[in-house]
């Protein structure tokens, strides 16, 4: 994988490191954020070994924060720590992705109904502003802007435990959905339109349909990726 900066503004490890410096104070938090975002953005591919020495050098930290970050990401389902191989990006089968999306349908529909019932006009305006920021975000800021939007959305009317569960599953599948660029601009706007109608069942039905559409697209993508990985 390429560690150099991209003149076109695409996501690189360098851009993630710079963003993390502004958001996190501890070395462990910076390392966790950078590696997590790199995995979600596809800078590291499923089953790829993570270069711990290079990551430590890039982050200007010792190996200790890197190891702590990798243990955290293992608990989130993004990294596997394997004997004799070190840390590798977790690989999901088509069946596992399908199961995760069915879980998303259940928990996000539940959470969205509570959001619709609890949201105020000011909170809806704030989400509109976050949606605008997401649409105009530079490539190296898009992942963070998307996280901010959905974390803010589900924080309305839901407990921190529900929000953290949703965001953890979203991160786990995010490295696959990142490549579905046709879905990036429509999901948050469609969701806000249904929320503004004030009907929790209508909003949840739209979300369920959207997630199942993404699940079908992902099934094709994962099947193709696995076929490409097979030896000739």
**Which CATH entry fits the domain spanning 13-89: 2.40.110.20, 1.20.1050.10, 1.10.10.10, 3.40.630.10?**
1.10.10.10
* pLDDT the model gives residue 200: 97
Q: Tell me the per-residue pLDDT of 25-46, one tens digit each, with 9 for 90 and over.
A: 899 999 999 999 899 888 898 8
What's the gap between Cα 85 and its chain centre? 25
Q: What is the pLDDT of residue 150?
A: 94
What is the CATH T-level fold of the domain 94-229, as seen in this structure? 1.20.120
Where on the phi/psi map is residue 186: left (φ > 0), alpha (ψ -120 to 50), or beta? alpha
Please state, in angstroms and as integers, the Cα–Cα distance from residue 52 to each residue in 27, 55, 90, 218, following that order: 14, 5, 16, 29
Q: At what angle do helices 160-177 and 142-155 cross, to 10 degrees?
A: 150
Give per-residue pLDDT as tens, 129-168: 999 988 888 776 777 888 899 999 999 999 999 999 999 8
The DSSP code sequence of 5-48 is --TT----HHHHHHHHHHH--SHHHHHHHHHHHHHHTTSS-TTP
- Domain range list for the chain: 13-89, 94-229
The closest of 180, 101, 171, 182 to 143, measured between CA atoms, is: 171
pLDDT at position 181, please? 52
pLDDT along the chain (232 residues), means of 10: 46 84 88 91 88 93 95 92 91 88 96 98 96 82 85 97 94 74 64 95 95 84 60 52
Would residue 24 be called left, alpha or beta, if left means φ above 0 and alpha means ψ between -120 and 50 degrees? beta
pLDDT at 228: 57
- Identify the pLDDT of residue 95: 87
Coil vs helix vs strand at 180: coil
- How many residues appear in the chain? 232
Ramachandran sector of residue 45 (left: φ over 0; alpha: ψ -120 to 50; beta: rest): beta
Cα dist. 117→28, 99, 113, 130 in Å? 37, 28, 6, 20
Please tell me the predicted confidence (pLDDT) of residue 128.
94
Q: Are 76 and 168 in contact (CB under 8 A)?
A: yes
pLDDT of residue 40: 85
């Amino acid at each position: 994988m390429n560690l150099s900066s991209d003149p076109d503004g695409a996501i690189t490890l360098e851009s993630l490191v710079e963003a993390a410096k502004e958001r996190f104070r501890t070395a462990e938090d910076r390392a966790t954020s950078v590696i997590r975002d790199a995995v979600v953005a596809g800078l590291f591919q499923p089953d790829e070994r993570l270069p711990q020495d290079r990551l430590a050098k890039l982050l200007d930290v010792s190996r200790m924060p890197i190891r702590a970050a990798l243990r955290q990401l293992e608990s989130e389902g993004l990294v596997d720590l394997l004997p004799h191989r070190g840390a590798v990006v977790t690989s999901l089968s088509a069946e596992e992705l399908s199961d995760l999306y069915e879980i998303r349908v259940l928990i996000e529909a539940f959470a969205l109904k509570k959001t619709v019932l609890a949201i105020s006009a000011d909170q809806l305006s704030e989400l509109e502003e976050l949606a605008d920021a997401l649409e105009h975000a530079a490539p190296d800021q898009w992942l963070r802007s998307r996280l901010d939007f959905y974390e803010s959305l589900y924080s309305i009317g839901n407990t921190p435990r529900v929000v953290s569960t949703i965001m953890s599953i979203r991160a786990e599948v995010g490295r696959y959905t990142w490549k579905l660029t046709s879905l990036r601009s429509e999901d948050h706007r469609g969701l806000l339109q249904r929320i503004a109608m004030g009907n929790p069942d209508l909003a949840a039905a739209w979300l369920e349909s959207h997630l199942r559409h993404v699940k079908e697209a992902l099934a094709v993508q994962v099947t193709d990726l696995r076929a490409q990985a097979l030896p000739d």
